[in-house]
Structure 1
Amino acid sequence: MSQPILTLDFLDIPAPTPEAALSAEVRVSPATRTGRQRKLYIESYGCQMNFSDSEIVSSILFDEGFDTIDTLEGADLVLLNTCSIREKAEQTVRMRLSQINGHKKRNPGLLVGVLGCMAERLKAKFLEEEKLVDLVVGPDAYRDLPNLIREVDGGQKAVNVLLSREETYADITPVRLNSNGVSAFISIMRGCDNMCSFCVVPFTRGRERSRDAHSILQEASDLVAAGYREVTLLGQNVDSYKWASADGAEHVNFAQLLERVALVSPQLRVRFATSHPKDITDEVLYTMARHRNICKFIHLPAQSGNSRILSLMNRTYDRPWYEARVVAIRRILGDDCAISTDMIAGFCSETEAEHQDTKSLMEHVRYDMAYMFFYSERPGTLAARKLADDVPLETKKRRLQEIIDLQQQHSAERNARAVGRVHEVLVENFSKRSQEHLSGRNSQNQVVVFPKLNFRKGDYVQVFVHSSTASTLLGEAV
C-alpha cells in the first residue's frame, strides 16, 4: 500500500492557508506510544485548520485511552479529517476510504470514521448510501467522539454533525502531532460569516466565533515554555477576531490579540492566517510594524482581479479597495513585507478580458507566492444555486496555467531581491535534500537553506543569502 505524501509545511516550501486548502496534501499523524490499549491512526487533508483540529481530536481520544500510531497496520480506529473545498479533495478521500475498507475486510474489528468538512457536507450519506465508514463527525462535535465510538463498539453506526455557535475547544490542550518542535498552530476562532459564493466553509464549519483571549495567551506561553519558537494564529478570517469577557469589561480585537501574543516572549515569532481584504485594518499593520517578532508576511486572498467577478463571488470588496489595502501594507510595513494570495481561474461567466484583469493585478502587486486553482463548483454554495458554471474546462486550465507561469516569474523576482542581504532565519529542520544543510524561514516566510555547522532546530541564525531559486534562498551563516 502506498503511503500518502506529507504536507509541505516542514519541507522547503511554505504551507497553504485555510482559504487555500490544497486537496492533494495529506498529513499522517506521527506516533505517540504511551502504552494505551487502543491505537488511533489519523490522516488530515486540506488546510491548516484541519491539521490543528486533528491535534484536538487526538487530545480528546488520548484521554479516552488511545495512542496515536503512524501506520494503518495495528490501528483499532482510523479517522480521516477531510476537506470539501474542491471536488478533487473529496475524490481523494473517497479513493482513500476504498483502500482502507480493503484493509478493514482483512481486519474486521477496525473502526473507520470521517471527520471535518466532508463529514459535515455529506452527513449520513456516508453511512446510508456509500457504507464506507462507521462514524461521521462534524467539526463542532469532536467532544462527542468518545460517546460515538462507544456506540460503534456496541454494533451501531454513529453520526454527529451538529454545528455550534459556541464551540471553540478553548479548554483542550492539543497533542502536537505534526510539529517539528519549533512551530505550532494556535486556533483563535472557528467558522466563517463571509458568504463567498464559491465557498462551502460557512456551511461546513458554521458561524464565526472567537476564542477566549486569555486561553490563547496561555497556550502561547505554554508553547514557549516547551521550547517552541513560532506560532501561527489560525482562523478562516483572523482579522474579524473579536472577543469580549462575560461581564463585558474586556474587549479584544485582532490587532490587540496579535500584540498580546507578540509580548509573550521576544523569542517567539508570530504569524497569522488568513486575512480577508475587507477586514485587515491599519491598526493590524501598525501593530506588525511595532513588533519585530511579528513576521512581515500577509496572506491576502484576492481570488480575482476584476471587480465584476469579485461581486459575483460576494467578496464584498472591489479591485480598487484591494489595491488600496496593498498600498497601505507597503506604506506601513515597507516593500519587504511579503504578500501572498489565492487566485481562482475561470469563475462563472469570466471573460477573457476579466482573466487579463487578474493577470494585471498580479503584475501590479507582484506577490511573493500564490495558491492558484481553476473554479470547482461546490454543491450547496450560492454560486452552485445561482450561477452557471459556464467556462469550459479547457479554458479554465489554460487560464490557470497562465497565472501559474506569471506567478513563478514574480516569485523568482521577489526571491532574487533577498540575495546579497543578511536574514534572521529560524531553523525548523534539515533540508529535505541533505542532512548537512538546515532549512528555516525568514520573517517574510521565504525558505532559507544553509550549511548546518553547529546550529540546531529552534536556533535563530543570521544567514547571508548568496543565491536564490523560485522557491528557496541559499546562504551561509554569518
Structure 2
Amino acid sequence: MMNSLEGKKIWICSLGCRSNQYEGEALANAFADAGAELVDSPEGCDGAVLVSCTVTAMADKKCRQAVRRARRLSRNAVIAACGCWAQKITREEAASLGIAVVVGNRRKGELPGMLAAALGGESPSFAEDRIDVLRSREWDDLSLTRPLLHTRAFVKIQDGCNHFCSYCAIPYVRGFPVSRDPGDVLAEIERIAASGCPEVVLTGVHLGLYGKYGSISLAELVRRVASVEGVRRIRFGSLEPFGLDDELLETLAAAPGFCRHLHLPLQSGSGTVLGRMKRGYGPEEFLALSEKARNFLGDDLHISTDVLVGFPGESEGDFADTLSLMKACRFGKVHVFPFSPREGTEAWSYPGRVPRDTVLRRSSEALSAADDLLARYALRWVGTDVAVLAEETAGNSFQGLTPSFLRVVAKGRAERGEELPVRITRISGDSLRGRRIP
C-alpha cells in the first residue's frame, strides 16, 4: 500500500509546540522513506498533512486556515489532519473543511499508511483513527533517521499530562503521561548524530514527568544522551518548574553539551492567580527556583518563560505582580499570551472575565517589558565570542543560534549545520549581530 506514495508530492505543516515539530519531522522521514517528495508549499501537492495544535482559540483558527489554504492551492489534494486539534474536532467539521483523513494523538504512526490508501483510492472518502487518550498507555510509533525540516533535531521522549491546570485543554487531547523507552531514544539519537546533525532538543508535553512515568529518570537519560558520539549540543524544550529538581540540575551542570537555556513557564506572578490556575507553586517558589538554576548552571543561564495575561479575575495588582516577578527572575525571552477560554476546562466557567481592551493593554505592557528584559540579557554577550550553529546561509552571511538560544546574524561564510565562532558586536531587535572569527 505504501507504494501509493512513490513520487507523490507531500506538504507537511506543523503548528504549535516542539513535540509537534518532532512529529512533523518523523512523518517527513516516513514519507521520504516511502518514496514521496517533500515540498515546501501546498500548491500542486498530492497530499497535505497538518500536525495540529489546539492550545488556544487562535491555534484552532490557524489550523482551519492551513487546511483552507491547502484546499485552495491544491483542489485535488488529499488532506490529512493529525494531533491535538484533530483529536477533538467533529467528523462534520472535518468533512466541511475538506479533510479526508483524521488521526488523533497516540496514532500518528498510522497516518502515512492511511494517506497512502487514500491516494491509492483504497479507502473511503473519509477515514479516521482516534482513541481515548486519557486511558491510553500507548506510545506513538514515530521515529527519526535524520532531520529533514530543521537543522536541529527535535526528539520527543514524553507525551501526555495529568496536571490539569484550570485553563488548559492539552491533558484532554494529549492524554495520560507516557514515557518513551530509553533504548529507543538513544537509538534514534545515534542515527541522528550519524547523519551529521550535532544538536538534539529533547521534547515532551510535560517533559519533567519522564522520570515519574518511565524506567529511568530524566537526569539519567541526559547522562546517556551526552555520551552519544557526535552529539555536541543538547537542549530541552519547555520544562514545567516542578520538573526541575536537584538531580537534574546537577546532571545538566556536569554535561558539557547541555546548552545554558531553560524554558520554564511562569504564567503569572500573582499568587492568587497562580492558585486559581492550579499551577502548583507560588511566585516566591518560582523566584527561588530560578536563582537555584543559576547557582547550578551559571549566571549567564538564559531563562525564558510564558506569561498568560487576562486570566479571569486578574486585577491590576495581580498584573503588576507579574511584571515585577518578570524583572526579579531576570528573564530573557518572554512569550506573552492573552487568556483564551477553552471549553471543557475548569476556567471556562470562571467569573470575572477581563474586558478585551484591558487584556490588549496588559498584553502590550507585558510585551514591552519582555523586550526590555531580552535586550538586557542579550547585552551581556556584546563584545564576546560565542559559538553559532549555522541554520541559514546566504553568500557572505549566515544566521543561527548560540548555546543560550539567542539568534545571531553574522558576516562570513558558513555551511549549513556548521558550528562557528562569532564575535558579537551589537544588538539588533531581538537578535545579535556579529562577524565570524577567522
Please indicate, yes or no, whether the TM-score normalized by the shorter chain is above 0.5: yes
Note if contact 2:7-2:36 (Cα within 8 Å) is conserved in structure 1. Answer: yes
1:101-157, CA deviations, whole angstroms, 9 ceiling, x for partnerless residues? Answer: 3456x53xx3222211111121424246x3532221112122333247536744331
Note if contact 2:202-2:234 (Cα within 8 Å) is conserved in structure 1. Answer: yes
1:42 corresponds to 2:12: yes
Question: Equivalents in 1 of 2:409, 2:308: separation in Å?
Answer: 31
Question: Equivalents in 2 of 1:337, 1:441: separation in Å?
Answer: 15
What amino acid is the match of 1:335?
Answer: D
Note if contact 2:29-2:148 (Cα within 8 Å) is conserved in structure 1. Answer: no
What runs of 5+ residues in structure 1 fail to find an aligned partner?
1-33, 246-250
Query: 1:241 aligns to what?
Result: 210
What amino acid is the match of 1:472?
Answer: S
Tell me which of 67, 70, 74 is aligned to 1:97. Answer: 67
1:375 corresponds to 2:346: no
1:78 corresponds to 2:48: yes
Tell me which of 159, 170, 178 is aligned to 2:149. Answer: 178
Give the superposed CA RMSD.
Answer: 2.4
Secondary structure in 2 aligned to 1:463? strand
Tell me which of 73, 86, 109 is aligned to 1:119. Answer: 86
Deviation at 1:466, TM superposition (A): 2.1
Query: 1:472 aligns to what?
Result: 431
Secondary structure in 2 aligned to 1:252? coil
Pair 171,408 (structure 1): closer, same or farther in 2 beyond 3 Å: closer
Question: Equivalents in 2 of 1:318, 1:262: separation in Å?
Answer: 33
Query: 1:198 aligns to what?
Result: 167
Question: Equivalents in 1 of 2:302, 2:17: separation in Å?
Answer: 20
* TM-score normalised over the length of structure 1: 0.84
Secondary structure in 2 aligned to 1:278? helix
1:171-218, CA deviations, whole angstroms, 9 ceiling, x for partnerless residues? Answer: 6335633123xx111111111122111111111111111101111111
Tell me which of 379, 383, 386 is aligned to 1:420. Answer: 383
Pair 257,170 (structure 1): closer, same or farther in 2 beyond 3 Å: farther
Secondary structure in 1 aligned to 2:15? strand
Question: Equivalents in 2 of 1:73, 1:420: separation in Å?
Answer: 45
Note if contact 1:138-1:163 (Cα within 8 Å) is conserved in structure 2. Answer: no
Secondary structure in 2 aligned to 1:292? coil
Note if contact 1:82-1:114 (Cα within 8 Å) is conserved in structure 2. Answer: yes
Deviation at 1:266, TM superposition (A): 6.5
* TM-score normalised over the length of structure 2: 0.91
What amino acid is the match of 2:432?
Answer: L
Question: Equivalents in 1 of 2:12, 2:352: separation in Å?
Answer: 35
Question: Equivalents in 2 of 1:131, 1:424: separation in Å?
Answer: 46
Deviation at 1:473, TM superposition (A): 1.8
What amino acid is the match of 1:114?
Answer: A
Tell me which of 395, 406, 415 is aligned to 2:369. Answer: 406
Secondary structure in 2 aligned to 1:188? strand
Note if contact 1:307-1:318 (Cα within 8 Å) is conserved in structure 2. Answer: yes
Note if contact 1:58-1:175 (Cα within 8 Å) is conserved in structure 2. Answer: no
Deviation at 1:70, TM superposition (A): 2.7
1:218 corresponds to 2:218: no
Note if contact 2:68-2:97 (Cα within 8 Å) is conserved in structure 1. Answer: no
What amino acid is the match of 2:274?
Answer: L
Question: Equivalents in 1 of 2:25, 2:39: separation in Å?
Answer: 13
Pair 317,98 (structure 1): closer, same or farther in 2 beyond 3 Å: same
Note if contact 1:123-1:136 (Cα within 8 Å) is conserved in structure 2. Answer: no
Query: 1:10 aligns to what?
Result: none
Note if contact 1:170-1:212 (Cα within 8 Å) is conserved in structure 2. Answer: no
Query: 1:15 aligns to what?
Result: none
What amino acid is the match of 1:300?
Answer: L
Note if contact 1:148-1:159 (Cα within 8 Å) is conserved in structure 2. Answer: no
Note if contact 1:277-1:322 (Cα within 8 Å) is conserved in structure 2. Answer: yes
Note if contact 2:88-2:173 (Cα within 8 Å) is conserved in structure 1. Answer: yes
Tell me which of 284, 299, 319 is aligned to 2:248. Answer: 284
Pair 244,85 (structure 1): closer, same or farther in 2 beyond 3 Å: closer
Note if contact 2:201-2:235 (Cα within 8 Å) is conserved in structure 1. Answer: yes
Question: Equivalents in 2 of 1:362, 1:139: separation in Å?
Answer: 34
Pair 349,35 (structure 1): closer, same or farther in 2 beyond 3 Å: closer
Pair 76,365 (structure 1): closer, same or farther in 2 beyond 3 Å: same
What runs of 5+ residues in structure 2 fail to find an aligned partner?
none
Query: 1:134 aligns to what?
Result: 100
1:459 corresponds to 2:422: no
What amino acid is the match of 2:143?
Answer: I
1:352 corresponds to 2:321: no
Question: Equivalents in 1 of 2:224, 2:210: separation in Å?
Answer: 14
Pair 284,154 (structure 1): closer, same or farther in 2 beyond 3 Å: closer
Deviation at 1:238, TM superposition (A): 1.5
1:152-175, CA deviations, whole angstroms, 9 ceiling, x for partnerless residues? Answer: 744331122214533334563356
Question: Equivalents in 1 of 2:418, 2:25: separation in Å?
Answer: 25
Tell me which of 177, 186, 194 is aligned to 1:208. Answer: 177
Deviation at 1:428, TM superposition (A): 2.5
Deviation at 1:257, TM superposition (A): 0.8
What amino acid is the match of 2:102?
Answer: V
Correspondence list, 1:59-78, <5 A: 59-62=29-32, 66-78=36-48
What amino acid is the match of 1:98?
Answer: R
Deviation at 1:340, TM superposition (A): 0.2
